[in-house]
Structure 1
């Protein structure tokens, strides 16, 4: 079923979507749309307005979101296995309880997004802004993460074991009980190296320049 340029705002849509079809939404207004539990496996959302859209418990396995987006989208408890988000505004989106195995976020604006409590074996992040986001407890083990801003984000309890962070920023980031064992942080901006960060970075790989900056912040001069 194809929806092209439709105003579907504030509508209950789940019962209108046959489970045996692949649905395509192009430049639709889905503001506050009710898609709770909707059968949307493989669906395509292209440049849609999604402010406040409710995708809780929806089947979004393999769905693709490209462009568009909005504030406070709810994906709680949704199936997002293999889902992809490309250049989507996901500011203040909620993913608590969502199954994010092999989901990908590329070029997304995720300021204030809440991913803590999500499930699965890991998701990928690239060229995205996660300022003020909450990823508490998420696993990003062994992943290559490129061009991501984690400024003032909460990464408490996250597992970055053996991950590579390239062109990433960790300024003001909360790192309580975060694991960076054997993580490659040589391409990351580590921000101000407070005691909590130093504990989190134990076992990580950093450059000589990064190490010198950490020591200099503690009044130690490296010659």
Structure 2
């Protein structure tokens, strides 16, 4: 159980109390399509490619987004619950006030995305691509990020809580001010300057020093 205090303040999605509910239906998405104030549950998305989709005030529950390509995607006030977004392509997306809860994000492409006020909780994010991403006001907790790529990204007010980043690549991403102390980074790739100013545990300090060829005397 996570006991870390909320150092980073993340705004939750602003969702209407009463929303249109769509359950167990097939959905077609067209270019420049807009979704507003809808709760989708267990629906099939037949479209695999769409451009300039805008989603505002929407809940997706038990939805399958595998392999979908959504170009120029805008998500505002959106919650994903128990959804599968494996190998989806959201590159270049603008995501503001969103939550991913208990989702499969394996291989999700978020390269060059802009993420603000985002919560990712209890998600499988293996092989996720988050290169050249702008991240601000983000809390990522109890997630698997093994073999992920978070390179050349900008982090501002970001927290990692009890996450697994084994064998991940984070080179070119400054972790200054980021608390890494209760997450795992075995085999992860960094540059020395990436870790400058990061908050680490005593054990991690020894492990990271070994990465850069330092010998610590006991």
Using structure 1 for the length normalisation, give the TM-score: 0.78
What is the SS of the residue equivalent to 2:163? strand
Bigger Rg, which one: 1
Greater relative contact order, per chain length (Cα 8 Å cut-off, separation 6+): 2
1:176 aligns with 2:171: yes
Q: Is the 8 A contact 2:86 2:108 kept in 1?
A: yes
Q: 2:108 aligns with which of 88, 109, 113?
A: 113
Q: 1:193 to 1:165 in 2, by over 3 A?
A: same
Q: 1:50 aligns with which of 45, 50, 60?
A: 45
Using structure 2 for the length normalisation, give the TM-score: 0.80
1:159 aligns with 2:149: no
Distance in 1 between residues matched to 2:173 and 2:66, nearest whole Å: 28
Deviations along 1:144-199, one digit per CA (max 9) or x if unpaired, are 221122211110122234422111111121112102111111111011255x3543
The match for 2:54 is: 59
Shift of 1:62: 1.4
Deviant stretches of 4+, over 6 Å: none
The match for 1:75 is: 70
Q: 2:87 aligns with which of 85, 92, 95?
A: 92
Q: 1:189 to 1:46 in 2, by over 3 A?
A: same
Q: 1:143 aligns with which of 138, 146, 149?
A: 138
Shift of 1:203: 1.0
Q: Is the 8 A contact 1:161 1:181 kept in 2?
A: no
1:35 aligns with 2:30: yes
Structure that is richer in strand per residue: 2
The match for 1:11 is: none
Deviations along 1:3-61, one digit per CA (max 9) or x if unpaired, are xxxxxxxxxxxxxxxxxxx753312244xx44332231122220223365344322211
Shift of 1:84: 1.2
What is the SS of the residue equivalent to 2:203? helix
Q: 1:72 to 1:111 in 2, by over 3 A?
A: same
RMSD, aligned α-carbons: 2.3
Identify unmatched segments of 5+ residues in structure 2.
1-18
The match for 1:104 is: 99
Matched length: 199
The match for 1:207 is: 201
Q: Is the 8 A contact 2:167 2:185 kept in 1?
A: no
